Amino acid sequence: MKENKKISRRKFLGLSAGAVAGLAFSPSIPTLFAASKKTYDYSILPAGKREYIASNCAMCVNKCGIIAEVVNGRLHKLNPNPEHIKSRGMLCAKGNAGAALPYSPDRLKTPLLRTGERGEGKWKEISWDEAFKYIAKNLADLKQKYENRSTVAFASTEGFQEEFYYYLVNSFGSLNTVRHTTLCLASNIQGWSSVFGVFPDADLLNAEYVIMLGADRAQSLITPDSVNFQRYKPEGQKLIVIDPRFTVTASKADRWYPIKPRTDQGFVLAMINVIIKEGLYNRQFVESYTHGFKDLEKMVQDYTPQWAEKKCEIPAAEIVKTAREFAAHAPRSVIYPGRRSSFYSHEVYVRRTFAILAAICGCWDTKGGVVPRSSIKLNTPEVSFPFFMQTRDRVDKESTDLLKDVVPSSVMCPMIGTGLPEDSCSFLSERDGSWLTFREAVLNDTPYPVKGFFCFKQNPMQSVPNTTKTIAMLKKMDFICVIDMQMSDTAWYADIVLPHTSYLEGWDPATGISGINPLVEFRQPVIKPLFDTKTMFEISGGIIREMLNIPSLWDDIEPDDLKNFKEDVVEGILNRPIQEYIKTQVSNYPGALEKLMNNGFFTVESKKPTYGATRTPGFRFKTKTGKIEILNERYKEFGLFPLPKYCEPKNFVQKSGTYRFLVGRTAWNTQTTTQNIPYLWEIEKENAVWINPGEAGKLGIVSGDYVWIKSRVGKQRIKALVTEKIRPDCVFYSNGWGRRSPWLSRVYKSGASEAEIIEDVLDSISGGTCLHETFVSITKA
């Protein structure tokens, strides 16, 4: 067909050489105008109505500003919003690829009910009415049977609609919620907060000296940092990157130190040693604002650069140089907090050490240092949910002996005076929970059985280490409901799957984004919904309305509670259009709604960065002493190290032929959610394991070979990439591959999954997961 067209055109050209002028007026052959060059018609979009609609991206955690270009109701492209203060006029590969999401043939289009065995892939399409009735009935059955609402657990990941997921959680009354935080940055938040009371941002725009340890901002994109650190880099700013891998970020650095994994704390302790010994710290700041400096001075005496050289395999002279430079540029020096910290079991102490370095140099709440975030408060309706009698406390909260299976002392090897609790997580977030502890509790039915599982846009099958245990956990459930846009690996094992509307087709509530420059965002539909999908706002409403038809679901509350709940939550919010909710949320700020509609976000003049609000006499930090706690008093009470003593496994020797496994991101994928999008899949069709050439030579492996990578909990087959970019003692691959859901058609079974091989090792202070505590062996496949 096409060939014919081409031939006929060729013939036409041959015949009509003399007739061009005459034909040029025919509107059916517009490109012949090209002959005159000046009148060339550049347009490529179809004729018709073109609209530009502002909203915000949802392809990862960053929520960058987008302007959707919609032609005749079809989304043509997502453009960056040039005025957006967080994304600063950029949109990454994933953000661009979002334009393909609504039209993906692989997306979930209607509610599905399992008809075969779990994981067998036999589904029946059902209506939303049937789905809501089915779910409400299962919730009622579970409550009747176990007489404990917390028997149903609710997993979710961050996102604007998560707010309404919690309407469902609180309407049922379970306290078992598990979020993504302990897979990502729980230890980072805990570590920094243990010193400053809050988790700060880095002021990269004004810093003169930046040290990034284990943060690949060039590939693991975080706005505004990934934009600022190159595009708006101040003249002369120095970047030091410390990472076992030569990351893209390392390629931008003034110096790269390929540190031995798990020793970052040693590097920074030695810096502190030099800075204190040479009197380079900020004496005045330390005296005015901090608690425990004298103890620190004593503790770091032994942590000399020479000592650190042996641990970190970085020359002592380099550590000394870095320490002096950091102090010389202070307070415009940043030791970068970053984001993911789910690396090692002692990670909270690592992050505490970073924070203490910032504290003694006075790089706090000042231009070019680390700065507390500010936020814009919304008038979000405060709703009260009924108080249910049949609700027990979180499964992962109680002090039990089940942690022995996941704390490092038993999993890896004994630690020297670990400073790591072995009976419960010291600082468990009530809302985030601790994924590993939660799963362990479910597997052991301790302290009570958890038999129902809801999962909103999270994918524990791929994101929680040791997939074998996750499958076992799912097997324990009487009922599993997954809400997602695509058939995730977890959805594949569900009983009922609900299709969520894409972020481009529905309304999302206003949400404050905190930072040095805080803002408020929302989302509006840029195209009409293509399929029979619903948002979490609508799904929660649908399930809750059905729940109200079942009296047994409300027999353990006061009648007044039920009446108020119906009036406030159901009638007041869920039965009304979400636009009214958004209107209320922003009602404190005149013109805010208009700004959201026109530009997707708004800011508040008074929230422009000011610096120094916490550097005033008498300011109380959110710590026990109200000071910046170099020595943490609560840690002392909890039996933890009050000062971050160097933590390392006792008598640990890495066996020859084993490699520490590292995992990380590429700039074109978000965790496990984007690999199947053709525009991104085209960039990388499967992941590959990085192996140092010396080691690859010993193993007889060259780039492109397939290898087996094996740990104590699983093995995966993957392509090898032999590269100097990694130390000989570790290997690396990117996350989100080796998928189990056949409905992720492009990436099903391609590449290797990290969750299948990473051992479940717990950071028992924050409840976090340690993704870099696994050793693997490699053999040619």
Partner 1 sequence: MKRKRYAIVFDTKKCLNCKACTVACKFENYVPVGDDSYRLWVTEMPLEGRFPVLRQEFRPSQCQHCENAPCEKVCPTGATFRTAEGVVLIDYDKCILCKACMAACPYDARFVSKKHDAVEKCTFCMHRVSEGREPACVETCPVRVREFGDLNDPDSTVSRLLNQRAYYQLKPEKNTRPRLFYLK
Binding footprint of partner 1 on the chain (CB under 8 A): 2, 5-6, 9-10, 13, 29, 31-32, 34-35, 37-38, 40, 42-45, 76-80, 82, 89-93, 95-97, 99-100, 218-219, 221, 223, 226-227, 230-231, 246, 248, 250-252, 256-258, 667-668, 678-683, 692, 723-725, 727
Q: Select from 461, 462, 438, 442 the least CA-distant residue to 450.
A: 442
Smallest distance, partner 1 to C-beta of residue 107, A: 16
Torsion-angle region of residue 427: left (phi > 0), alpha (psi -120 to 50) or beta?
Answer: beta
Smallest distance, partner 1 to C-beta of residue 413, A: 28
Pick 435 or 601: Cβ nearer partner 1: 601
Smallest distance, partner 1 to C-beta of residue 364, A: 28
Pick 132 or 246: Cβ nearer partner 1: 246
Pick 253 or 553: Cβ nearer partner 1: 253
* C-alpha–C-alpha distance, residues 149 and 581, integer Å: 28
Q: Are 767 and 427 in contact (CB under 8 A)?
A: yes
Q: Is the dihedral of CA 111, 113, 118, 122 positive or negative?
A: negative
Smallest distance, partner 1 to C-beta of residue 80, A: 6
Pick 137 or 685: Cβ nearer partner 1: 685
Residues in the chain: 781
Smallest distance, partner 1 to C-beta of residue 93, A: 4
Kindly give, in sequence order, each residue whose CB lies less than 8 Å from that of residue 744, ignoring residues fewer than 6 positions away: 106, 486, 487, 488, 489, 675, 676
Give long-range contacts, CB 8 A cutoff, 24+ apart: 397-401: 397/424, 397/428, 398/424, 398/447, 399/423, 399/424, 400/424, 400/441, 400/446, 400/447
Q: Is the dihedral of CA 26, 31, 32, 35 positive or negative?
A: positive
Pick 351 or 727: Cβ nearer partner 1: 727
* C-alpha–C-alpha distance, residues 53 and 79, integer Å: 10
Pick 39 or 579: Cβ nearer partner 1: 39
What is the token pair recorded at 304?
Answer: 């000399």
Antiparallel, parallel or unpaired: β 452-456 and 238-242: unpaired
Smallest distance, partner 1 to C-beta of residue 340, A: 17
* C-alpha–C-alpha distance, residues 781 and 778, integer Å: 9
* C-alpha–C-alpha distance, residues 333 and 498, integer Å: 48
Q: Are 476 and 451 in contact (CB under 8 A)?
A: yes
Pick 223 or 585: Cβ nearer partner 1: 223
Smallest distance, partner 1 to C-beta of residue 684, A: 9
Pick 77 or 321: Cβ nearer partner 1: 77
Pick 515 or 644: Cβ nearer partner 1: 515
Smallest distance, partner 1 to C-beta of residue 515, A: 17
Smallest distance, partner 1 to C-beta of residue 502, A: 16
* C-alpha–C-alpha distance, residues 375 and 198, integer Å: 13
Pick 305 or 452: Cβ nearer partner 1: 305
Q: Running DSSP on this structure, what letter comes out for residue 699?
A: H
What secondary structure does DSSP assign to 330-365, as a single string? TTSEEE---S---S-TTHHHHHHHHHHHHHHTT-BS
Smallest distance, partner 1 to C-beta of residue 728, A: 8
